[in-house]
Chain A
């Protein structure tokens, strides 16, 4: 009974500026249970050049159950942690037969968690109800199957509400095709969110904005060009064309450096990851408790942002509760 404070493991802190969701206790529990409470912190979850493979040369783990348990717990952590989504999506592919290499990568995630345990998602109070989505893909990102990775972020106004990092079900012949598939997945999510908003009696009349950094993909979506190279694309992907014609969404091309969904398709270093995280509204209201190892405040505006970009959330201005 009472005001919302703690809900299924998510800590809810509210102020006039908005709501912060974080899973600090859950993250600290994971660290403590794995003996990483005193681990050396790192500033990004996965090494940028790391390519994990299911057939790794390193020896298989003697106790794969512990790896599975760890990844399972980390998966629940992604409820409020889009920054971990890509790393955990990758690591969870090796649940069946984990190798030492995979465990090492998972331990790096834990060390990143050590640095950022209080990191949470900021839902802004002064925001519109306009859906914006960033869609990206990493063509042939999986070295075992050569399938691509879809990544998307959906914002409601300025607040991040939905994201996904997922390996695509089919192999793409071109990067445009991979992006096109990602656009299709994103548009499905946007469609569902529009329905959900309608249930909340919010009329989403304006078309949702869908940002992609791949020009051919947006061109394929708009009209059927490049037939020779796209005729094999699965028919269900073409639903995006229908959505476009219905006026549900508009596709806008942005340069790659503004692509926020990058964080969900490839491992990023701290110089690229941290600005993105601050733009998608990740804050650490507990940073003063954690000795200020680093927080997202030092994100510098690497470039001028596109017109609909996010305001960097000001962590220090938010007070808990």
Chain B
């Protein structure tokens, strides 16, 4: 229904966008204003929605000056950008909004959008311009539609109704066609070209000229002196004319300015190394999609350049990388740090060192470790060692007894030069769940006093005795357990319905009495060997024979031995 009886009685406004592709001019949205009476449309490109208010107030002034009238009513949807009541009040404008989620109430402008985009799409398809030039398509389509007659306007054009004069069409040209724009005189030598190859990009408002895109510099400018070749579209390289007349057209596409290259991959991702097809290549291969397919099959594959930022990329470049190091080339996103940090400045050895340090990681839970083979192996080794040592019996848990938990702890042992020595998994009991009086009684274990250590060393120094140290592997596992302690099955070896538990025979790491049991075991065997425990420090053991003197000092699992004869030390070591 044609409700308005004069122009600007009612205007419909809407915003289109934001479009995912930013145009070469930086625009993502446009504001459409449709006059209800004449159906004339104004289209304003925008970079953000906040420009709406300024555009709208400029439009009011424009209408007032040009048409000597004022806008009575504005109809919009409920967009926040249109919500400026004081602005409307100042101009005495009625602001009509649609109901929520009812865009059909703003149907005039929505329908206009459909029309505009239909035309713009067809322009785009005809010319095959890159998507970043969508703004020129949409502006040109507005220009055309305003000058196209419509049935609803009794076969008149919006232009005619608004301006009361028929539009002229003699300046119309085919959008996207090849044209030659005259070069400017002031920088032009006598033997320089008088014109440059361009693409026609539409009609600039209020200028008598054409907007063209220079194919050599990829800049847009407005020129009046243009010669058009309206049957040739430079952006479509497979037209016969293109090859015959302009063999270097593809070059244009390879250097086409694309602000959002990801949306125009068939153009911008083509490498500049592709030979220009001067020797008449088959025309079909120059269709952009075909080109990219051809490219994919022809080129040698190498890892994407972004992978150079990965540590796995660094490792891949180092053939001498430590073979024990886990192969961590798990694809994934690079850590954001690597946008700022690069190892490429380091020497090869240093890079290998850095990566081998950072590659090694110690899992904290069974879940993490169980997925990595070398940790699995370490865990299996630990369990096998414990079973060979007869650490436990598998029994059913008696009534009114509770089993304490256990877990595996993981540690990477390094050699002095930073190489991984081995991966070590250690089963520890959760000793903190033990109950005093049931699971353990005494926990005290003597350690050497520091003064004793110093006296020990002083005497050894003065007497010039041999000094040796002894590291006991799995020291705590040697201790016998007198209490009845039940432990759950180690993680990875238990099933949810397995009723069995481990009845510990040896003290394992983590038990409260572990160090005590170890010390008592060690001291018993030393006493059996003929040592005497010193009264003044119970971690000191001394054995004196007629011509030999040997002392042993114990600090948990660190043991120092000193003796006047070397053979005695070896005897003790053998014994232990």
Does B520 belong to the interface (CB within 8 Å)? Answer: no
- Please tell me which one of the listed residues B461, B471, B536 contacts residue A124 in the complex, with CB atoms under 8 A apart: B461
Which of B458, B467, B551, B560 has the most chain A CB atoms inside 10 A of its CB?
B458
A201, closest chain B residue (CB): B544
- Please tell me which one of the listed residues A1, A126, A198 contacts residue B462 in the complex, with CB atoms under 8 A apart: A126
Does B535 belong to the interface (CB within 8 Å)? Answer: yes
Does A171 belong to the interface (CB within 8 Å)? Answer: no
Is A196's CB under 8 angstroms from B455's CB?
Answer: yes
Is B462's CB under 8 angstroms from A8's CB?
Answer: no
How far in angstroms is the closest Cβ of chain B from A14? 7
- Give the docked Cα–Cα distance between A202 and B455 (Å): 11
- Please tell me which one of the listed residues B453, B467, B536, B555 contacts residue A199 in the complex, with CB atoms under 8 A apart: B536
How far in angstroms is the closest Cβ of chain A from B32? 59
Taking residues whose C-beta sits less than 8 angstroms from the other chain, chain A's interface range is: 35 or more
B459, closest chain A residue (CB): A200
Is B455's CB under 8 angstroms from A156's CB?
Answer: yes
Is A14's CB under 8 angstroms from B467's CB?
Answer: yes
Is A200's CB under 8 angstroms from B542's CB?
Answer: yes
How far in angstroms is the closest Cβ of chain A from B203? 67
Is A3's CB under 8 angstroms from B468's CB?
Answer: yes
- Please tell me which one of the listed residues B450, B468, B537 contacts residue A196 in the complex, with CB atoms under 8 A apart: B537
- Please tell me which one of the listed residues A2, A6, A8, A125 contacts residue B468 in the complex, with CB atoms under 8 A apart: A2
Chain A residues in 8 Å Cβ range of B401? none
How far in angstroms is the closest Cβ of chain A from B553? 9
Evaluate whether A127 and B462 lie within 8 angstroms (CB atoms) in the complex, with A3-B468, A201-B542 already known: yes
Chain B residues in 8 Å Cβ range of A293? none
Q: Which of B74-104 contact A (CB under 8 A)?
A: none
Chain A residues in 8 Å Cβ range of B471? 1
Does B285 belong to the interface (CB within 8 Å)? Answer: no
Is A129's CB under 8 angstroms from B462's CB?
Answer: yes
Q: Which of B491-550 contact A (CB under 8 A)?
A: 534-537, 540, 542, 544, 549
- Give the docked Cα–Cα distance between A3 and B560 (Å): 9
Total A-B residue pairs with C-beta atoms closer than 8 Å? 99
Chain A residues in 8 Å Cβ range of B460? 19
- Give the docked Cα–Cα distance between A4 and B573 (Å): 14
Is A21's CB under 8 angstroms from B454's CB?
Answer: yes
Q: Which of A109-131 contact B (CB under 8 A)?
A: 121, 123-127, 129
Taking residues whose C-beta sits less than 8 angstroms from the other chain, chain B's interface range is: 20 to 34
Q: Which of A99-107, A157-165, A241-249, A294-302 contacts B (4 or more CB under 8 A)?
A: A157-165
Evaluate whether A161 and B455 lie within 8 angstroms (CB atoms) in the complex, with A4-B560, A7-B469 already known: yes
Chain A residues in 8 Å Cβ range of B537? 196, 199
* Proximity string of chain A (123-158) to chain B, C-beta cutoff 8 Å, 1 when within and 0 when not: 111110100000000000000000000000000110
Is B461's CB under 8 angstroms from A14's CB?
Answer: yes
B450, closest chain A residue (CB): A79
How far in angstroms is the closest Cβ of chain A from B228? 72
Does A5 belong to the interface (CB within 8 Å)? Answer: yes
How far in angstroms is the closest Cβ of chain A from B252? 57
How far in angstroms is the closest Cβ of chain A from B371? 31
Does A18 belong to the interface (CB within 8 Å)? Answer: yes
Chain B contact residues: over half helix, strand or loop, or mixed? Answer: mixed
Is B558's CB under 8 angstroms from A5's CB?
Answer: no
B559, closest chain A residue (CB): A7
Is B458's CB under 8 angstroms from A2's CB?
Answer: no
Is A192's CB under 8 angstroms from B536's CB?
Answer: yes
Does A225 belong to the interface (CB within 8 Å)? Answer: no
A194, closest chain B residue (CB): B536
Is A199's CB under 8 angstroms from B458's CB?
Answer: no
Is A21's CB under 8 angstroms from B462's CB?
Answer: no
B455, closest chain A residue (CB): A161
Is A200's CB under 8 angstroms from B555's CB?
Answer: no
Chain B residues in 8 Å Cβ range of A192? 536
Is B573's CB under 8 angstroms from A157's CB?
Answer: no
- Give the docked Cα–Cα distance between A123 and B463 (Å): 12
How far in angstroms is the closest Cβ of chain B from A13? 11
- Give the docked Cα–Cα distance between A8 and B456 (Å): 15
Evaluate whether A159 and B536 lie within 8 angstroms (CB atoms) in the complex, with A4-B469, A8-B558 already known: no
- Give the docked Cα–Cα distance between A201 and B542 (Å): 9
- Give the docked Cα–Cα distance between A123 and B470 (Å): 22
Chain B residues in 8 Å Cβ range of A12? 457, 467
Chain B residues in 8 Å Cβ range of A200? 455-456, 459, 542, 551
- Give the docked Cα–Cα distance between A193 and B452 (Å): 9
What would 23 A/B residue contacts be, using CB atoms closer than 8 Å? A1-B468, A1-B573, A3-B467, A3-B468, A3-B469, A4-B468, A7-B453, A7-B555, A7-B560, A10-B453, A21-B454, A125-B461, A159-B458, A161-B451, A161-B455, A162-B451, A196-B455, A196-B537, A197-B455, A199-B535, A199-B536, A199-B537, A200-B551
Residues of B within 8 A of A (CB): 450-462, 464, 467-471, 534-537, 540, 542, 544, 549, 551, 555, 558, 560, 573
Extra A-B contacts (18), CB below 8 Å, given A129-B462, A196-B540, A199-B536: A1-B573, A2-B468, A3-B467, A3-B469, A4-B467, A4-B468, A7-B555, A8-B558, A123-B454, A125-B461, A127-B458, A161-B458, A162-B454, A196-B451, A196-B534, A199-B540, A200-B542, A202-B459
